[in-house]
């Protein structure tokens, strides 16, 4: 038995020696093979530049083609370059590039890791939804039924046309007792509406409104808005000047709101990272960021790449946020459940 133990012990010692020897040879190879550090310098520079574009996104100027806002609209997608750089670094067998790729990976996780994890909860006392129904929607009644089936207590619709409004009114009448349409936006509610008015967002026609919803949890000021569209043009870049002007006007209207609880539902044609929406996002928080799961991209419906449809709240506690199934629109409808906490003021 003693001899067997000695043999096993000796065998284990020899294995440890072999592992130590292999590790030493690897270290010597890395030390002597300077090419492993010299290779992939260009990849390393690209990795560092990618990290800088993400971490300094708010400093990228909008002077030329609104490039700063364009970058912020699709900022999460810069992360797709990280595995590509990693694969190229491995292919090149470059230690320098491999280490450099860690920099953008850390930056991306710092910016977006909170959106990866599921923050949805239970409870709440009011469900709200918003949907850009698309002016060219071939099946407005079907879209209306799909949104109503979500169980939302309050529904905002954008891009309503004069001919489609009666269709939506008829399809939603049995579920929502109260509604109001102002220009191309509308609000349907199971609870009474008051203080309904159009909101001027400096367009010359109505694409925003405000109403008070008297829900069991208290009075909630609800804003519905459809900010101007943006375009990416080769000769002009990211054309967003009108959107930015309207966003500032909407932010001013929200800041003048007297009710302690408010919500903004609509197609803002911008993401929460876009500095052009600071006049709004500095006052309100995203239900997706606070109580969602994943990025919640809403446009285009066939392959969502950006969340430009938003549910933002102030003085209200988000409980959960989610995207609804595709309808006949080019946007996905989104919904959120919130907890009202009337202060009595």
- Are 171 and 276 part of one and the same domain? yes
- Are 66 and 135 part of one and the same domain? no
Q: How many domains does the chain have?
A: 2
Structural domain boundaries enclosing 106: 33-116
The pLDDT of residue 334 is 97
The pLDDT of residue 12 is 60
The pLDDT of residue 5 is 47
Give the H or E element holding residue 211. Answer: strand 208-215
- Are 68 and 170 part of one and the same domain? no
Q: Is residue 236 part of a domain?
A: yes
- Are 145 and 90 part of one and the same domain? no
- Are 193 and 62 part of one and the same domain? no
* pLDDT tens, per residue, the chain with 345 residues: 555 544 455 566 677 777 777 767 656 665 666 677 778 999 999 999 999 999 999 898 877 667 788 889 899 999 999 999 999 999 988 889 999 999 999 999 999 998 888 999 989 999 999 999 999 999 999 999 999 999 999 999 999 999 999 999 999 999 999 999 999 999 999 999 999 999 999 999 999 999 999 999 999 999 999 999 886 655 444 567 889 999 999 999 999 999 999 999 999 999 999 999 999 999 999 999 999 999 999 999 999 999 999 999 999 999 999 999 999 999 999 999 999 975 444
Q: Is residue 147 part of a domain?
A: yes
Contact 163, 133 (CB under 8 A): no
Q: Is residue 97 part of a domain?
A: yes
Gap between the Cα atoms of 333 and 129, Å rounded:
7
Gap between the Cα atoms of 187 and 224, Å rounded:
7
The pLDDT of residue 270 is 93
Is there a cis peptide before residue 300, judged by omega within 30 degrees of 0?
yes
The pLDDT of residue 11 is 61
Q: Which two tokens stand for residue 74?
A: 């699709």
Q: Is residue 24 part of a domain?
A: no
Gap between the Cα atoms of 87 and 20, Å rounded:
29
CATH code, domain with 186:
3.60.10.10
- Are 245 and 308 part of one and the same domain? yes
């Amino acid at each position: 038995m003693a001899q067997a133990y000695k043999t096993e012990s000796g065998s284990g010692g020899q294995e440890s020696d072999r592992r130590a020897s292999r590790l030493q040879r690897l270290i010597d190879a890395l030390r002597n093979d300077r090419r492993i550090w010299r290779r992939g310098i260009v990849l390393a520079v690209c990795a560092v530049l990618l990290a800088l574009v993400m971490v300094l996104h708010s400093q990228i100027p909008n002077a030329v083609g609104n490039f700063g806002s364009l970058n912020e609209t699709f900022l999460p997608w810069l992360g797709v370059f990280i595995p590509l750089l990693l694969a190229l670094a491995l292919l090149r067998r470059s230690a320098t590039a491999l280490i450099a790729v860690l920099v953008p990976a850390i930056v991306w996780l710092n910016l977006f890791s909170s959106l990866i994890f599921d923050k949805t909860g239970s409870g709440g006392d009011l469900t709200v939804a918003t949907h850009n129904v698309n002016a060219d929607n071939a099946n407005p009644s079907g879209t209306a039924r799909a949104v109503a089936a979500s169980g939302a207590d309050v529904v905002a619709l954008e891009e309503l046309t004069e001919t489609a409004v009666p269709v939506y009114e008829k399809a939603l009448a049995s579920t929502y007792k109260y509604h109001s349409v102002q220009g191309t936006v509308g609000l349907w509610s199971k609870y009474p509406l008051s203080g309904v008015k159009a909101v001027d967002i400096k367009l010359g026609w109505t694409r925003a409104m405000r109403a008070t919803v008297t829900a069991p949890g208290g009075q909630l000021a609800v804003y519905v808005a459809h900010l101007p569209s943006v375009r990416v043009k080769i000769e002009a870049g990211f054309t967003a000047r009108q959107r930015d002007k309207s966003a500032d006007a909407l932010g001013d209207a929200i800041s003048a709101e007297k009710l302690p609880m408010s919500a903004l539902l609509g197609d803002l044609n911008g993401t929460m990272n876009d500095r052009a929406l600071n006049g709004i996002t500095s006052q309100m928080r995203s239900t997706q960021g606070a109580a969602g799961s994943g990025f919640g991209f809403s446009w285009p419906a066939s392959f969502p790449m950006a969340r430009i449809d938003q549910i933002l709240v102030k003085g209200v506690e988000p409980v959960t946020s989610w995207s609804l199934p595709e309808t006949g629109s080019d946007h996905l409808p989104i919904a959120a459940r919130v907890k009202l906490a009337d202060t009595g003021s």
